[in-house]
Amino acid sequence: MIDHNKLLTIALVIGFFATFLLFYQKPFYSDEPPHFSTVSSFCNFKASPPSDMPTIAGYHFFAGMFGYLTSCTESVIRLLNLLLGLGSVFVVYFLAKELDYNRKEKSLLTALLPILFPFFFLIYTDVLSVLAVLLMVFFLYRKDYLLSGLFGLISFTVRQNNIIWVIFCLLFVIMDKNLKLRIDRKIIKNIAPYIFVLLIASLLFVEIGGFAVAGRERHPSFFLGPMNVYAILFFFLLINLPEHILNFRKVFYRIKSASAGEICILAVLFLSLFILIFFTFSIDHEWNGEQFNYFLRNRILNFFDSNLILKAIFSLSAVYSIISISKIKLADRRHYLIYPLTLLFLAPSWLIEIRYYIIPIVLINLFASRERKTERILIIWYLIFTLIFMFYLYQNLVFW
């Protein structure tokens, strides 16, 4: 009898390595040069991060040790990211098994996520960041809080704003499924690893005057703004388009069954959101300018910011994304903490950067309690989306 799970695993691994063979000798893309330079310095035990690198060099340290034990070349470090990517997919599989969700579908949604897939083959921090956060959540569910906290600390050394997901784990422990606080001696013991990570993060924040280690003129430590919140709403609509189309029926029936009073309240609420987004959406970071339209995100954002009609379409899309997200059921009420924490995760970032949306979307896809059919439609959409993007990336015509 054919074991479809084994066949799927083999096909996935072959697909990943086939893509790796296409990209492993390609010239550097975008920010790969400073990342590889820092990795190389760790390979040679001469740590010297670029003066404008805003993140702690956690990824570069681990990649440098891998390069020291193997070979400190571009291809080998790209191979490391491939292995980390495969690790992320398998962690999602076992997490979904722990949650009793659609294991195969959840794994494929992570493997083929269009904004994540390209970074499996490039020297970027994001894949290790995703893996560390997923392992933190995995051991949270296994109730191994020490290991969960350890991976939370690793995730923080890779990208400082991952401290938000450490807070998610802490809140998950101290709340029950009805979001009621539970504090006793055992709970305090369980959350101690997360408190330790938060303490380290606080000390670093005080020591350097913020979380941006360098390059603060472009990554200000005390910035708060809605641009990335608007952008993730818009791009999530595009990335999960089939789901949002399917959700339209749910939205329609909800409106149809609502009373006149409820409809008025909802109309005022969503009109207010539309006005807010329309009048506050702006692109003012240097790296989001039209001169950087090699980045697909910039092309899309600048296109919709080019006139009032397109800006209205962008604003309506973001509002509908909010409505549609409200129809995505999460099995555990504590999972809904993802939404307010995503706002905190994104608000301090001035640069509109699609890579910042990877972890929130991975977690939403993981925790969403969907029909298997819906997830399979999403997988097909992801596959088509990813293949088209990778074709243009291979020709060096566009980058996320």
Could you state, in order of their start, the residue ranges of all structural domains in the chain? 129-211, 225-369
Which tens digit of pLDDT belongs to each residue from 115-126? Answer: 999 999 999 999
Measured between alpha carbons, how far is 263 from 284 in angstroms, rounded to an integer? 36
- Compute CA 227 distance to the chain's CA centroid, rounded to the nearest angstrom: 16
pLDDT of residue 16: 94
Give the residues across from 399 on adjacent strands: 295
Measured between alpha carbons, how far is 185 from 338 in angstroms, rounded to an integer? 26
User: Residue 303: helix, strand or coil by DSSP?
Assistant: helix
Q: At residue 368, what are phi and psi to the nearest 5 degrees?
A: -65, 130
Tokens 């921090």 sit at which residue?
125
pLDDT of residue 215: 63
Neighbouring C-beta atoms of residue 171, cutoff 10 Å? 16
Q: Which residues of 197-210 are buried (b: 16+ CB within 10 A; e: fewer)?
A: bbeebeebeeeeeb
pLDDT of residue 109: 97
Measured between alpha carbons, how far is 137 from 95 in angstroms, rounded to an integer? 8
Amino acid at 34: P
- 264 CB-near residues (< 8 Å, 6+ apart): none
Which tens digit of pLDDT belongs to each residue from 77-111? Answer: 999 999 999 999 999 999 999 888 889 999 999 99
What's the token pair of residue 95?
């997490």
Structural contact between residues 134 and 361, judged by C-beta atoms closer than 8 angstroms? no
Give 113: exposed, middle or buried? Use CB within 10 Å, 0-12, 13-18, 19+: buried
pLDDT of residue 234: 98
What's the token pair of residue 48?
């010297």
pLDDT of residue 47: 67
Which tens digit of pLDDT belongs to each residue from 251-265? Answer: 888 888 888 888 999
What's the token pair of residue 26?
């390609």
- 349 CB-near residues (< 8 Å, 6+ apart): 161, 219, 223, 225, 228, 356
**Ranges under pLDDT 50 in the chain:** none
Measured between alpha carbons, how far is 275 from 195 in angstroms, rounded to an integer? 40
Angle made by CA atoms 174, 177, 181, in degrees to the nearest 5: 35
pLDDT of residue 312: 97
270-278 contact pairs (CB < 8 A, 24+)? 270/319, 270/322, 270/323, 273/318, 273/319, 273/322, 274/315, 274/316, 274/319, 277/226, 277/230, 277/314, 277/315, 277/318, 277/319, 278/311, 278/312, 278/315
Neighbouring C-beta atoms of residue 190, cutoff 10 Å? 19
Which tens digit of pLDDT belongs to each residue from 202-237? Answer: 998 888 776 667 666 677 767 889 999 999 999 999
Measured between alpha carbons, how far is 387 from 399 in angstroms, rounded to an integer? 14
